[in-house]
C-alpha cells in the first residue's frame, strides 16, 4: 500500500510539472511582451573612460529616454573583455542583463585564446549591432617620428626598444599592432592593459611609445594636443580627420575596423530580442545619438539579430588566418 501511495505521489508531481510548463512558458512570453518594466543592466566588458564605454553610454542613455526605464552601464573588465563577456553568458536569460557584443571577445578571442570560459556560438543571443569604428595610430608627442615611414625607420634602427600599448590581449588595438609588426617586419614590444583608458594614461606618461585604439579615444587626445596621430586603419581616410593618411597608403592590405553591438545570454525570449533590436534601431536613428557618434568618429551600424550573429561568425572566419599569421597566442 505504501509503495502504491509513493508511486501515485510521484505521478501527481510529474503531471503537475507537465501542466506547469505551458504556464511558465506563457509567463515568460508575457514578461517578454512587457519588457522592459524594470532597470536593465548593461555590461560593458571594458573599463570606464574608453571608447566602448563612451559609445555604450550614449546608446544606453537614449534607450532610457525611449523606454522611461534605466539602462545602467556596469563595467566588468579583464582578459581582453572575456571577464565581462562570461558574466553576460552566465546571466539569467530574462532580458534584464544584456551587454556589449564586441569583435574582441566574439570574433578574435576564439582564435587567439587557447581556452575560453564561454562558447561564442552557443552561449549568447545576438540582439543588434550599434557601431563601427576604425582604429587610429597615435604616438607620444616627444617620439621623434612624425609619419608612419619615419616611425617604421625609427623602430627598425633600434629593434626591441619601442613598445605599443593595447586595451588588452585579443582586442582590435592588440591585433592591429600585431598586423603592423607583421607587415612592416618590426620588433616591437606589446604591453597589454585592462582597457583603453589605463593604456592611454601610460602613453601620456611616456611609459609606452605608441598605441592603436578605436578612433574616439585618440581623436579626443589628438584634438587636445596630447598625442600625435599618424594614420587610421580604414581603407578610406576618415571624415573626422581627413588629413590623416590610412595605414594602407604605406602598407598595402592593412585594414581593420572594430564593431560593437548588444547581446544577452542564450535563451532570451524572441519577443524581447526583437523589441530590444527595434529600440536600438530607434536610438541609433535619433538626432542626439547621431550627433554624439559623429563627434566621437563612430558610425551607426545597426543590424537585425540574425544578421548580427552572421556578421560575428563571418568576422571570426575572416580574422582567424590574420591572427594565426601574426603569431599572437594567449595560453
135-249 CATH fold: D-Maltodextrin-Binding Protein; domain 2 (3.40.190)
- Whether 39-133+257-326 and 135-249 share one fold: the answer is yes
> Is the predicted pLDDT of residue 10 greater than 80, yes or no?
no
Q: What is the pLDDT of residue 32?
A: 63
Q: Summarize pLDDT for 232-280 with one digit per residue, the tens.
A: 999 999 999 999 999 999 999 999 999 999 999 999 999 999 999 999 9
Q: What is the pLDDT of residue 7?
A: 40
Mean pLDDT score across all residues of the chain: 90
**Cβ count near 95 (within 10 Å):** 25
> Is the predicted pLDDT of residue 211 greater than 70, yes or no?
yes
C-alpha 73/C-alpha 97 separation (Å) is 10
Q: How confident is the model at residue 6 (pLDDT cuts 50, 70, 90)?
A: very low
Q: How confident is the model at residue 169 (pLDDT cuts 50, 70, 90)?
A: confident
Residues with Cβ < 8 Å from 45, sequence gap 6 or more? 52, 76, 77, 81, 82, 83, 84, 85, 88, 99, 100, 102, 104, 105
CATH assignment of 39-133+257-326, among 3.40.190.150, 3.40.50.300, 3.10.28.10, 3.40.640.10: 3.40.190.150
Q: Summarize pLDDT for 129-142 with one digit per residue, the tens.
A: 999 999 999 999 99
Q: What is the pLDDT of residue 26?
A: 47
Q: Summarize pLDDT for 133-166 with one digit per residue, the tens.
A: 999 999 999 999 999 999 999 999 999 999 999 9
The x, y and z cell numbers of residue 150, run together, are 619615419
Q: What is the pLDDT of residue 33?
A: 72
Instruction: For the full predicted model, state whether its pTM sits above 0.85.
Output: no
Q: Summarize pLDDT for 293-316 with one digit per residue, the tens.
A: 999 999 999 999 999 999 999 999
> Is the predicted pLDDT of residue 108 greater than 90, yes or no?
yes
Q: What are phi and psi of 51, to 5 degrees?
A: -60, -45
Residue pair 39/156 in contact by the 8 Å Cβ criterion = no
Dihedral through CA 212, CA 214, CA 216, CA 222, nearest 10? 10
Q: Where are the domains of the chain?
A: 39-133+257-326, 135-249
Q: What is the pLDDT of residue 80?
A: 87
Q: What is the pLDDT of residue 22?
A: 47
Amino acid at each position: 500500500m505504501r509503495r502504491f501511495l509513493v508511486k501515485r505521489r510521484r505521478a501527481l508531481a510529474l503531471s503537475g510539472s507537465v501542466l506547469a510548463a505551458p504556464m511558465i512558458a506563457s509567463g515568460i512570453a508575457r514578461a517578454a511582451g512587457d519588457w522592459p518594466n524594470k532597470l536593465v543592466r548593461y555590461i560593458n566588458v571594458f573599463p570606464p573612460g574608453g571608447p566602448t564605454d563612451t559609445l555604450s553610454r550614449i546608446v544606453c542613455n537614449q534607450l532610457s529616454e525611449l523606454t522611461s526605464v534605466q539602462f545602467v552601464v556596469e563595467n566588468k573588465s579583464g582578459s581582453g573583455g572575456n571577464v565581462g563577456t562570461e558574466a553576460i553568458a552566465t546571466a539569467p536569460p530574462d532580458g534584464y542583463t544584456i551587454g556589449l557584443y564586441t569583435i574582441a571577445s566574439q570574433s578574435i578571442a576564439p582564435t587567439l585564446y587557447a581556452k575560453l570560459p564561454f562558447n561564442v556560438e552557443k552561449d549568447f543571443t545576438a540582439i543588434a549591432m550599434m557601431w563601427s569604428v576604425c582604429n587610429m595610430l597615435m604616438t607620444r608627442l616627444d617620439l621623434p617620428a612624425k609619419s608612419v615611414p619615419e616611425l617604421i625607420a625609427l623602430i627598425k634602427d633600434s629593434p626591441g626598444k619601442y613598445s605599443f600599448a593595447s586595451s588588452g590581449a585579443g582586442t582590435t588595438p592588440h591585433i592591429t599592432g600585431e598586423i603592423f609588426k607583421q607587415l612592416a617586419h618590426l620588433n616591437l614590444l606589446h604591453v597589454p592593459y585592462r582597457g583603453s583608458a589605463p593604456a592611454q594614461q601610460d602613453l601620456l606618461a611616456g611609459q609606452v611609445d605608441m598605441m592603436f585604439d578605436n578612433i574616439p579615444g585618440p581623436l579626443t587626445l589628438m584634438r587636445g594636443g596630447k598625442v600625435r596621430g599618424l594614420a587610421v586603419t580604414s581603407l578610406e581616410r576618415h571624415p573626422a580627420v581627413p588629413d590623416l593618411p590610412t595605414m594602407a597608403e604605406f602598407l598595402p592590405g592593412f585594414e581593420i575596423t572594430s564593431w560593437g553591438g548588444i547581446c544577452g545570454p542564450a535563451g532570451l525570449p524572441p519577443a524581447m530580442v526583437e523589441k530590444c533590436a527595434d529600440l536600438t534601431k530607434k536610438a541609433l536613428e535619433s538626432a542626439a545619438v547621431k550627433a554624439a557618434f559623429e563627434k566621437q568618429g563612430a558610425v551607426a551600424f545597426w543590424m537585425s539579430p540574425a544578421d548580427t550573429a552572421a556578421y560575428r561568425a563571418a568576422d571570426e572566419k575572416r580574422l582567424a588566418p590574420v591572427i594565426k599569421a601574426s603569431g599572437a597566442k594567449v595560453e
